[in-house]
Structure 1
Amino acid sequence: MARQRRLPPGAHHPQQLMQQQPSMNHVPLISLQQNSLTPIPLTREMFFEAYGRGKWNLSVVPRPECLTGTTLLKAPEAYYEIRRLKCVESYDSLPHWNNNVRFNALLQKAKDMFGCKGASVSLVGSKFQTVKHEINLGFKKCARSISLDAHAVLSSRFFAMLDASTDWRTETSPLIIGPPDIRYYVGVPLLTPSKEAIGIFAIFDSFPRGKLQEETVTIMKQMAAEIMEYLDKPTYSNKQMKSNALDLTKGKKTNEAVDLILKQYGRATGADSGSSIVFETDGSGSAYMQNQSLRFSRFNAPLGDLIDLSVWSRLLSCRNSKLAAMTLCSHLMNSLGFDCVYIMNIRITELFIIESKYFPPINEIEIENYKCKNMLQGNGEENISMKIIAIQGMDGAGQNFSPNFHYKGLKSEFGVAYTSTDRLCRFHSGICMPFHKEPSKLVRKKKFSKQSQIGPDDPIELYHRSNGYLVACFNTNIKDHNMKEIGYGYNCASILRRLYLMNN
């Protein structure tokens, strides 16, 4: 009979250890007890995203540490740039711009009223500022990289520089150190009915000013509104449009009109889901089927010095958002040396109560526009829903993704960095960054009705709903990631946001 080997006191047989050791799917991904969570500092890429949101008044912006030494700042794209550019395109070729008498009179009036050197009306496109009308500006087109109007379309309400030669964003701009020698500048946005800033109505002078008069902005906003009201008017009456339509159906005029459309746009091959006519210029489709091998991107390529265009191209070529997210996760693993990367959608619902008199008679409101936030009182725990969009480096099925950790990631300003020496977890360092947040809303639990018998002091219940996307990158060992790596990862994730996760 074989002699059984005795084990030292307290020791376990290997087979027992195997039975007691939890499977890898049940090992916590991160330590919930022995961890350190620190805020991720502002990177250059994060600053540009925040700058382009249109939430700040950008007249005075302190130079962040990540842009130390900058003396000329190229204005980034708007956060919702694709949507904005569609509006710019729809206004760019309006025949209204040919009314030189009207626009010259308006600009001369502004010049005289505010005692300035000149004034201008411009549209800000993807690469250029196109000056529609100007007095003493001296150019009809300007690169967006040096345009003051490009900053102004990103600013809330207005954009003013009392002395552009002393502002870190423009002190070495050719528009400031050379003709037209701008020092004092005030621009107000030209807003479409959907509140998209397509361009700027501006005044400027070659001498700095000590202060901005409040009535200057008020009057300029009224003049900008008048410009947009004029641009939004139809150029023909309904009677004229019907007459023109009848003329196009007669003989030679019909052929001439068709030939013109074919020359400019190609042949109509179908309609998209929005009932817009789709035209095709290469002649390979039919009247009922588009050429599937011909693919035109509906996205304008972003500014190349702020975005890795090779990543943009790779994600743009993906068939859908899930494949693009998987491609992004793989790219970040390979380029930045992470052991696991995933993209997560997280939704948070929190219940609050507030007296009825502090909430408007509507069913929901964006919390950024709500002036009584400090009156809200918590009324229960938050409900957190998480969905993995894509993951690389491990199987996401059955894994324990900590709701509390990802809640902190979404609620943070720029993200959190994680480190832990806990041996009973899989990952010991990493970063978690929110790269797209939908506007948070307060929603009545019970819908508002004019028949509701609610007194001003009666409490009402509100849901605070937050929704966003996180990119989480982890290592099995403790590893520090510098600002350049963090910024690059964030920027790549923002490409996914622009192409697939936004309502463009």
Structure 2
Amino acid sequence: MDRLSQLAGSGKSPKAKAIRAGHGGINSIAPPGERSINQIRMTLSQFIDAYSKGKWNISDVPCPPCFDKSKGFFQPPECYNELTRSKVAQQYIDLPHWNEAYIFKKIISKIRKEFGINGISISVIDGTKTLIKFEHLLGLVDIPRIASIDSHTILSQGYFLLLNASEDWRTQSNPFVNGIPHIKFYLGVPLTNKNGINIGVLSIFDSFVRREFSPDKIRSFQLYAKEIMKILETPISIVQVKFSIYKPIQCETHSDNYADDIKKLAKKIGRATSKGEQMFNIFEKDGSGGPYSPNHTFRFKRNSEEFNVKSSQILFEKMLNAGNIKNGAAQLSKFIVNDIGIDFAYILEIRIAESYLIGKEYFPSKQKEIDVNKFTFSSKLVKDTSKNAHNDCITRIIGYHGCNYANLNIEDEIHSAAFSSEFGIHYQNSRQTSLHNDGILIPFFRHNSKLVRKHRVKKANEQNQGSNDDIDLYFRSGGYLVACYNEGIKPDSFNPEIISEIFEYATILRKIYLSS
């Protein structure tokens, strides 16, 4: 784990300068000496949330302990920024470029020749379906996202490679793996627009397992995806002129002869049971009829931890109609209290600034701030422990339900501890001397953390560490928490299934008001 991951996950809580819910009120939760705090283990909904962010190459992601493979099919989740992504994808679905079929067929031909593989697909993924724009040996025009391997690919960093899809925990129950076209090998590359949004997938597949597929071949295949996106983002008039040399000359006589040949062949061997160029065609000599599409019936067992779809739809409508994040947070808190059956819930915004030092040679002299994810010298950061170090934690409750807001008195040390944790914390007061004695606090949205330069350069003799001039920095992070409490301690009241459901509810608020 690098230094910045440690900062985000396990650093000491900074001194609180809180905008609290009330002053001088009763203790809503027990003071530090009387309470116990334990880290929450990752739940299924939290794993799915991390999986959906597109920050991993998911080719070798192991099955998490929170997912029981025996309970069913792992449905590819929506993208973290799905509302934005699907809107952008819609702009590509009906582009006139797709009518220039000869361009994409030329690309498919080149791919078949270079990689020696026949199964190929070019798709655009909307809100509910994978729309197949061009394909070879797939024979479908669209696939539900729940069954599409491409729906995993748009969540992967760079590419998604399966050497044996029948043994991967995500795809071993997939109907296209167990049935026609019997996919075993699969390589998909996201079709990414100039703003970094994945709108679809270029993929190749085969019914035979591969032992390896070299990084050089993957990079070469990625170039074809970039070529397709370059075509789609070029004005159609320019595309038509540039690729006009590849446009075939129409030959009516040849087409008529070809159709006659097909009719003669059909009389001899019967009709094909598959539409298009399937890997396995069966012909029925029944004397009449035409080819028909394979019948894929998508049936999957529902995992016991799966989010309640009906409840999510009700909550989504309530929060969408709320109009703003404050009203949405109030609706969310009320829904959690009523649906889960707990005593008190609130949504809290948190912002943290911690003091750090770094040698001036590691921080660009002309930059005031750097995105943490783009900083390459995280190991050089040192926590500022001097008396002049300045640490802030500012919080704001934006929605609540189940308790008198004016009487709350919750110090922000517990909020900071929860936000700095990976999956949240579970608080308990076994003596039950406070208003709320059992609760969970879960982060559900984090802003991109930044390193921000302070106004002056601190000399080495001012701090007791380092031999060169160091730069003062703030490590600034922030986001949102959902907190839920019960007055008494009830056995199993915050079990993994309930925690997973609460987190899933909170992500709806995020999708509508924070990440879109």
- Tell me the TM-score normalized by structure 2: 0.75
**Residue deviations 1:245-276 (CA, integer Å, cap 9, x gap):** xxxxxxxxxxxxxxxxxxxxxxxxxxxxxxxx
- Aligned-residue CA RMSD (Å): 2.3
1:363 alignment partner in structure 2: 368
Asked whether 1:436 is paired with 2:440, we answer no
1:445 alignment partner in structure 2: 454
User: Counterpart amino acid of 1:213?
Assistant: S
TM-aligned CA distance change 1:194 to 1:307, over 3 Å: farther
TM-aligned CA distance change 1:161 to 1:392, over 3 Å: same
d(CA) in 2 for partners of 1:30, 1:315:
32
SS of equivalent residue, structure 1 residue 388: strand
Aligned residues: 410
2:244 alignment partner in structure 1: none
Asked whether 1:42 is paired with 2:29, we answer no
**Residue deviations 1:218-247 (CA, integer Å, cap 9, x gap):** 11222211111111112247xx9xxxxxxx
Contact residue 71 and residue 171 of structure 1 kept, 8 A: no
1:328 alignment partner in structure 2: 332
d(CA) in 2 for partners of 1:179, 1:309:
34
d(CA) in 2 for partners of 1:78, 1:304:
19
Contact residue 70 and residue 168 of structure 1 kept, 8 A: no
Runs of 4+, deviation exceeding 4 Å = 303-307
2:143 alignment partner in structure 1: 142
1:445 is displaced (CA, Å) by: 2.6
Asked whether 1:426 is paired with 2:435, we answer yes
1:142 is displaced (CA, Å) by: 0.8
2:87 alignment partner in structure 1: 86
TM-aligned CA distance change 1:99 to 1:431, over 3 Å: same
d(CA) in 1 for partners of 2:508, 2:453:
34
TM-aligned CA distance change 1:28 to 1:474, over 3 Å: closer
Gaps of 5+ in 2: 1-22, 242-306, 458-466
Contact residue 122 and residue 199 of structure 1 kept, 8 A: yes
d(CA) in 1 for partners of 2:86, 2:436:
42
Contact residue 456 and residue 472 of structure 2 kept, 8 A: no
1:194 is displaced (CA, Å) by: 1.0
- In the alignment, which of 393, 403, 407 is matched to residue 384 of structure 1? 393
Q: What is the percentage of aligned positions where both structures have the same residue?
A: 34
Asked whether 1:463 is paired with 2:477, we answer no
TM-aligned CA distance change 1:211 to 1:70, over 3 Å: farther
d(CA) in 1 for partners of 2:42, 2:60:
18
TM-aligned CA distance change 1:357 to 1:71, over 3 Å: farther
Contact residue 456 and residue 471 of structure 2 kept, 8 A: no
1:60 alignment partner in structure 2: 60
**Residue deviations 1:382-407 (CA, integer Å, cap 9, x gap):** 31010010122223336322211101
User: Counterpart amino acid of 1:475?
Assistant: N
SS of equivalent residue, structure 1 residue 77: coil
1:249 alignment partner in structure 2: none
Higher RCO (C-alpha 8 Å, min separation 6): 2
1:410 alignment partner in structure 2: 419
Which residues of 2 match residues 10-409 of structure 1 at below 5 A?
25-68=25-68, 69-236=70-237, 305=309, 308-360=312-364, 362-379=367-384, 380-397=389-406, 399-409=408-418
1:181 is displaced (CA, Å) by: 1.3
Contact residue 125 and residue 199 of structure 2 kept, 8 A: yes
Gaps of 5+ in 1: 1-22, 241-302, 449-455
d(CA) in 2 for partners of 1:343, 1:236:
51
Contact residue 123 and residue 131 of structure 1 kept, 8 A: yes
1:207 is displaced (CA, Å) by: 0.9
Contact residue 120 and residue 136 of structure 2 kept, 8 A: yes
SS of equivalent residue, structure 2 residue 322: coil
d(CA) in 1 for partners of 2:511, 2:371:
22
SS of equivalent residue, structure 1 residue 478: coil
SS of equivalent residue, structure 1 residue 371: coil
- Tell me the TM-score normalized by structure 1: 0.77
